[in-house]
Amino acid sequence: MNAPAPLRPMPFSDLKAQYAALRQSIHERMQRVLDHGQYIMGPEVKELEDRLAAYVGTRHCISVASGTEALLIAMMGSGIGRGDEVITSPFTFAATAEMIVLLGATPVFVDVEADTCNIDASRIEAAVTPRTRAILPVSLYGQVADMAAINAVAARHGLVVIEDAAQSFGASYQGRRSCGLSTWGATSFFPSKPLGCYGDGGALFTDDDALAQAAREIRVHGQSARYSHTRIGVGGRMDTLQCAVLLAKLERFDWELQRRHALGARYAQGLAGLPGLRTLAVRADRDCVWGQYTVFVPRRSAVQAALQAQGIPTAVHYPRPLHRQPAYAAWAARAHCPVSEQVAEQVLSLPMSADLDPADQDRVLAALAGALAD
Ligand SMILES: Cc1ncc(COP(=O)(O)O)c(C=O)c1O
């Protein structure tokens, strides 16, 4: 009897297929940079910023070195520092709260909604104190949090709102784009993000001319002119080659978003009715670009192992909320976040990218059905 054919491993995020489709444009764009040699702040930087500002619908886009740097620069630009409190979600990647702490401010964790994993806007106002300076919601998995409610709380208390849109570039909320919904939008171009470069990169978005100017200065060591340091800044630029890569990737971005939406709908349909599995709720006034396609499962380790045995990679975003991480223990006492703790035990991210092959997606669905029936 013949041995069964080995199962073909599938990528979690298929960047190779994307590269194959865009190869020529990416090479041409990168070659142009190599020819002109302006590796830092070359013409592609402004070209990208203009294109992204127009796409999001803000007056300004400031490219920066990473999503982490975008959060840092936004808070520095708003003058957030020692003694200030920033309200945020504990159910996120560490960078969100890390930059608050790095500036000497206090992260105040507010629990998330059980069905979207985004910050529960109805709980924010109770966490506001005279020290609160900002609200930093995260648009987790590619779906914007309840920004209208968050902006309303911020307006009542004179707070800055910074959207951590690292996972949601391209998402829509009440007919407007993620990143253009509050004082600041901060995104990441980490390779596997909805819009990703070939290294680290990020961007800030704002309609406020003075804040945009502050961010432009902070990203180059607080210089208002060469060697004129008018404020404290960081080395936070995005390099020209990465901007060139993104300009090439923008050619196909609308198509990629359509694919992500179609694949997300296909997952939801195929997963409906699987015992014990719950899909993420997507609110009627917004969409999700599925920066991660994340579901809630029982017996997560066993499900993950069953999928792994069939060559299907999965990930957990995130296994422990930040207030339960040792580095954030100092801010845990004030954090009452049982929902975050519960969802952290259930979430499982499945393979997702614009180039996910529907045949591979069917393999994921079949493997999940098998694992949950066991
Ligand atoms: C929610 C969130 N915030 C911030 C970041 C930081 O972005 P970067 O890796 O570009 O610094 C990430 C990236 O993983 C993220 O997912």
pLDDT in tens, 182-228: 999 999 999 999 999 999 999 999 999 999 999 999 999 999 999 99
pTM of model > 0.95:
yes
Q: Whose CA is nearest to atom 12 of ligand 1?
A: 166
Tokens 């020529």, residue?
24
Distance 93 CA to ligand 1 centre (A): 6
Q: Which residues contact 149 (CB under 8 A, 6 or more apart)?
A: 121, 122, 124
Of the residues 178, 188, 322, which should be mutated to test ligand 1's pocket, given the most ligand atoms within 8 Å of the CB? 188
- Mean pLDDT, all residues of the chain: 97
Atom of ligand 1 nearest to the CA of 200: 10
Question: Contact 202/74 with Cβ under 8 angstroms?
Answer: no
Tell whether ligand 1 has an atom less than 6 A from the beta carbon of residue 168: no
Residues sharing a CB contact under 8 Å with residue 131, sequence separation 6 or more, in sequence order: 83, 84, 85, 106
The predicted pLDDT at position 5 comes to 58
> Ligand 1 within 6 A of 67 CB?
yes
- Report how far Cα 264 is from the mean position of its chain's Cα atoms: 17
The mean pLDDT value for 72-94 works out to 98
- Compute, in angstroms, the gap from residue 359 CA to the centroid of ligand 1: 30
Share of the chain above pLDDT 90, in %: 97
- 188: CA distance to ligand 1 center in Å? 6
Residue 359 token pair: 């045949």
188: Cβ below 6 Å to ligand 1? Answer: yes
Q: Whose CA is nearest to atom 7 of ligand 1?
A: 67
Q: What is the CA(70)–ligand 1 centre distance, in A? A: 9
- pLDDT greater than 90 at residue 6: no
Residue 169 to residue 167: CA distance in whole angstroms: 6
Kindly tell me if the per-residue pLDDT of 2 is higher than 80: no
CB 340 within 8 A of CB 90: yes
- Confidence band, pLDDT 50/70/90 cuts, at residue 8: confident
CB atoms within 10 A of CB 92: 27
Contact 224, 210 (CB under 8 A): no
Residue type, 38: Q
Please say whether the beta carbons of 347 and 316 come within 8 A. yes
Q: Which of 29, 51, 32, 72 is nearest to 214 (CA)?
A: 72
132 pLDDT more than 90? yes
